[in-house]
Amino acid sequence: MRVLVTGGAGYIGSHTTVELLGQGHQVLVLDDLSNSSEESLRRVAELAGRPADFVQANVGDAAELDAAFTSFRPDAVIHFAGRKAVGESTRLPLLYYRENVAATVTLLETMAAHGCHQIVFSSSATVYGSASEPPFTEDAPTGATNPYGHTKHMIEQILADAAAADPSLSVAVLRYFNPIGAHESGRIGEDPKGIPNNLLPFVAQVAAGRRTGLQVFGNDYPTPDGTGLRDYIHVVDVAQGHLAALARLADGAGCQTWNLGTGRPFSVLEVISAYEAASGVRIPYQIVDRRPGDVAASYADVSKAGRELDWTAHRSLEQACADTVRWQAANPDGYAQ
């Protein structure tokens, strides 16, 4: 297939592009490089043995998007591009509504104008919020708690409405739990700009000596060791979930939603131990107050994806930590070197 990958230079996008190229698909990456680097695409080409095409543009730029559709003529779109920092979204909500919600509307209009009828969308387990108890099934009540989460939830609604109105449109909504790890080659991985918001990149930078210690946000949750429970999933498993969803889209129209997780939660302290074992480095940490907006536990019921996509996550937390250690050791400053 000819697949347009928005945000394909980013963390999950780059790993998915490697898998797409490996399966013989033609790929055009459209990315504005606002939170990613073109170096990731050079390495994707090296891993896959051939390059993806690349256009540096923002998805919300209708003229650039139209030109990309005219020249590349995609059969399907995988839509990763978007902003994803919860704290930033509460400070700059309109930026999130423009770059996430409005840009997706532009993308859907452009797809319709060019007769492209298949889209896989990067959603997030954040849409479950605290409206129900894990393990979350796809039909669990949703309740996002911040502007970033609201944008994901709104885009899901827009996609469902668009598919209901257009019988030729086929949509896969993938709700990721907590993607971690790196390609096992150590050539591509997560390269957050500034201070990492998420646990694994922060732990990796502490282990590498870039930061002095980790703050554990609360140990008084109703969980076995009091720290938060999350469903950490290897980024290559997430990438392969996209190929499984893409294969299902060809089967028919409508809007369908699948969780991408492992179904097995780990606590913050368990993640620290796993990373210490993989790196051989002790991670100093300090227990501090809960982070506002965090939930005690978030993990997936993964049976629907197993049944309908014939996909399950295969890689362990240990492997994800080992792959992150390899990526971090070979690229101490990420792609900037």
Cβ atoms of residues 167 and 311 within 8 Å: no
Answer yes or no whether residue 197 interacts with ligand UD1 by CB under 6 A: yes
CB neighbours of residue 86 within 10 Å: 19
Residues 143-172 that bind ligand UD1 (CB under 6 A): 148-149
Q: How far is Cα 155 from Cα 140, in angstroms, rounded to an integer?
A: 17
Report the distance separating Cα 333 and Cα 85, nearest Å.
Answer: 21
Using CB under 6 A as the criterion, what x/- string covers residues 10-39 for binding ligand UD1? ------------------------------
Q: Which two tokens stand for residue 288?
A: 């501090």
- 25, 83, 150, 230: residue in contact with ligand UD1 (rule CB under 6 A): 230
Q: Which of 22, 186, 226, 293 binds ligand UD1 (CB under 6 A)?
A: 293
- Taking CB under 6 A as the rule, does residue 211 contact ligand UD1? no
Cβ-proximal residues to 61 (8 Å cutoff; 6+ apart), any chain: 106
DSSP output for 62-74: HHHHHHHHHHH--
Using the rule CB under 6 A, is 202 a contact of ligand UD1? yes
Query: Which residues in the 232-271 window bind ligand UD1 by CB under 6 A?
Result: 268
Segment near ligand UD1 (CB under 6 A), from 42-50, 99-107, 191-199, 300-308? 191-199
Name the one residue in this structure whose structure tokens are 């780990």: 266
Least separation, in Å, of the C-beta of 40 and ligand UD1? 18
Per annotation, catalytic residue among 148, 176, 221, 232: 148
How wide is the angle at C-alpha 12 spanned by C-alphas 7 and 13, nearest 5°?
35
Q: How far apart are CA 208 and CA 332, in angstroms?
A: 7
Positions touching ligand UD1 (CB under 6 A) are 84, 86, 124, 126, 148-149, 178, 197-199, 202, 214-217, 228, 230, 268, 291, 293-294, 298
Instruction: Name the residues annotated as catalytic.
Output: 148
